[in-house]
Amino acid sequence: MSKPLRIIVLLLVLAGIGSGAWWYLHHPAANDALTLYGNVDLRQASLAFNGSERIAGVLVEEGDMVKKGQVLARLDTNRLSPQVREADATVAAQRAMVMKLRNGSRPEEIAQARANLASAKADAANANIQYERRAALTATATISKQDLDTAKAAAGVAGAKVEVAQSALDLAIAGPRAEELLQAEAQLRANEAQLALIRQELDDAELVAPFDAVVRSRLMEPGEMAAPTKPVFSLATTGIKWVRAYVSEPNLGHVRSGMRARITTDSFPDRPQDGWVGFISPVAEFTPKTVETEDLRSSLVYEVRVFVEDKDDLFRLGMPATVKLLPDEAPKPLPQDANSTDPKAKP
């Protein structure tokens, strides 16, 4: 073999070895565990009262573990309690009015109206008789015209009272109008809504934990004036946490949602935690200054969140962590918190 040919063959062999090395470095085998480096992240919440009132008591300290629904602080309710009693009494009075309209007139009321009509008729009959007698006496001139006019007016008044009594009896028998009942029922609903609002304000006087958490900061003290815009506590979740890591574009094809992972930290190297890939960013970004990878040659990376159920509360916010992806193990079904596809979602 001639010397130029040997040189060409040698160059081809070296090129093949280089290509193989590049492929091996950028496309690990299916059985190799891809290692990522990142920092622990978790969900946080700032809690504030819904109302504006003076704080009566703060029941937990910084660092305390709290359970979902646990009361953390209370407002002064000396103003709200009387308002609840007043609204409750208003609802009771209006409810009684509605029942009265629905039941209509009582039998005793109808009987009373009938008696008033009979009395009015008797008075009218007597007034008519008196008028007729005086009218008969006018022929003999034994009665003045004024007395006759007075008797006539009395008869007319008595007849009008009969009509009034008859109308009262008709109303008692017919009962209330449908419009009156609808108006009373609408007013009752308005009063009940006002009562529910005041009771909700009374319930909101207790600030409760929305989830199991640890108290990171206690921001207000008893005696201070609370407001919806002034947080009282800052809480950090104690449940599912995640490691925010970044994977380079050549290795992106080896990461998939649900892939099992093992997470270790420098603080607890002998206590690895099992996790799973819950979020892979659909958008590439330039390498952040704080990213921790062994290979920084790629300028574009993708954010990956590896979730972990931190039951022993070992992980702290910002703690560096090492993640080894385990492609050979069956993927884990993704919980709801891990399905977020918003790359800018804040913890």
CATH code at position 49: 2.40.50.100
Between 144 and 225, residue with greater pLDDT: 225
Q: Is the pTM of this model over 0.85?
A: no
43, two tokens:
């969900």
In a domain, 16, yes or no: no
321, two tokens:
């962590």
Position 38 pLDDT exceeds 80: yes
Q: What would the pLDDT profile of 312-345 be if each residue is shown by its tens digit?
A: 778 888 889 999 988 766 666 655 554 443 434 4
CATH number, domain of 179, equals 1.10.287.470
Q: Which residues contact 205 (CB under 8 A, 6 or more apart)?
A: 49, 51, 53, 74, 75, 76, 77, 80
Q: What would the pLDDT profile of 222-254 be if each residue is shown by its tens digit?
A: 999 999 999 999 998 887 888 999 888 888 888
Same domain, 96 and 193: yes
Average pLDDT value for residue range 260-283: 88
**Which pLDDT does position 342 carry in this prediction?**
44
In a domain, 34, yes or no: yes
Give the domain range for residue 212.
Answer: 45-75+204-235
Same domain, 71 and 210: yes
In a domain, 6, yes or no: no
Same domain, 98 and 147: yes
Which residue carries 């206690």 as its tokens?
Answer: 218
Give dist(CA 80, CA 201) in Å, integer.
8
Q: What would the pLDDT profile of 293-314 be if each residue is shown by its tens digit?
A: 555 545 678 888 999 888 777 8
In a domain, 17, yes or no: no
Give dist(CA 129, CA 152) in Å, integer.
10
Same domain, 272 and 319: yes
Give dist(CA 73, CA 234) in Å, integer.
13
In a domain, 7, yes or no: no
State which of 200, 223, 251 marks the end of a domain. 200
**Which pLDDT does position 288 carry in this prediction?**
64
- Number of separate domains in the chain: 3
**Which pLDDT does position 31 carry in this prediction?**
47
In a domain, 2, yes or no: no
**Which pLDDT does position 344 carry in this prediction?**
42
Q: What would the pLDDT profile of 47-88 be if each residue is shown by its tens digit?
A: 999 989 999 999 999 989 899 999 999 999 999 999 999 999
Residue type for 177, please?
A: R
Same domain, 139 and 218: no
30: pLDDT confidence band, cut at 50, 70 and 90?
very low
**Which pLDDT does position 196 carry in this prediction?**
94
In a domain, 314, yes or no: yes
Give dist(CA 120, CA 113) in Å, integer.
11
Q: What would the pLDDT profile of 85-111 be if each residue is shown by its tens digit?
A: 999 999 999 999 888 887 766 677 777
